[in-house]
Amino acid sequence: MPSLGQTRPWLGVVAAILGLSVPIILAVSPLYGFIRPGYVEAQYRRPAFPPSWRFSPEERARLSRPILLYLQGRATVEEMAGMRTDSGQVALLPEEVQHLVDVRRVVDGFFLAHRAACAIAIVAGALLWVLGAKRAFFRALRAGAGAMLGLILLILLSALVDFNTFFTRFHQVFFREGSWIFAEEDTLIQLYPLPFWVDTVTRLVLAILAEALILLILAWWLERRLLGRGTAYD
């Protein structure tokens, strides 16, 4: 095995890679809990959640389930597009189906980035640990968690100040212009009204904030407990 002195020029690169992987892991991890039928049905049961004037609570939950299963990759687009209301009408307009296809593409991209970041973080972290750069390992974790903490606080502030603008900007980044705008009577709006997104974004941001704080504190505590004080590469 090469000496630590010989490998030291690479340690900063490896640590940076680990640090850059951490925000991706923290940002995407909570999504797995939000994109599931159980979460949406719990939202529908909230006392303050606005009722649908087109669908009963039972019908709304029934129509929402195939959409969430599709986003999870557990239902086909044909199964989702073939949904019918209790009155026998096709539930989703073609434009709504296409938007959900676009949403699936974005979600799949997030999850792919998450899996790649996890793999990269494991390899980079293991390299730092094996090469003896344990302090660099902990500090990379802290740097990544700190960066995510700062970013998520900015997002939270933006959402609190003007959620409509924040929501619009998000869609403009990930979707084609106008492809995500629907009428109030359309199924997607009836299933997922604005209060759903306000509460969901708030919960998601708070979950990421908690993750970042926990990792920041844990990495700092472990570094002090296991290594004490020293240089970055001991």
Q: What angle do CA 166, 169, 174 make, to 5 degrees?
A: 130
- The structural domain count of the chain equals 1
Q: Is 164 part of a structural domain of the chain?
A: yes
Q: Is 61 part of a structural domain of the chain?
A: yes
DSSP three-state, residue 84: strand
> Could you tell me which residues are beta bridge partners of residue 90?
84
Flag residues of the chain having pLDDT under 70: 1-8, 228-234
The pLDDT score that the predictor gives to residue 159 is: 80
Task: For residue 90, report the phi and psi dihedrals to the nearest 5 degrees.
Answer: -65, 130
Single-letter residue type at 160: L
Q: Is 234 part of a structural domain of the chain?
A: no
Q: Give me the domain span that covers residue 148.
A: 4-227
Q: How far apart are CA 216 and CA 142, in angstroms?
A: 5
Q: Is 233 part of a structural domain of the chain?
A: no
Single-letter residue type at 203: R
> CB count, 10 Å around CB of 119?
11
Q: What angle do CA 84, 46, 60 make, to 5 degrees?
A: 5
Which residues in the chain belong to E strands, given as ranges? none
Q: Is 93 part of a structural domain of the chain?
A: yes
Q: Is 35 part of a structural domain of the chain?
A: yes
Q: Among 119, 96, 121, which residue's Cα sits nearest to residue 18?
A: 121
Which residues are CB-neighbours of 7 under 8 A, at least 6 positions away? Answer: 131
Q: Is 137 part of a structural domain of the chain?
A: yes
The pLDDT score that the predictor gives to residue 166 is: 87
Determine whether 49 is exposed, middle or buried from the number of CB atoms within 10 Å of its CB (0-12, 13-18, 19+).
middle
Q: How far apart are CA 192 and CA 67, in angstroms?
A: 11
Q: Is 95 part of a structural domain of the chain?
A: yes
The pLDDT score that the predictor gives to residue 180 is: 86
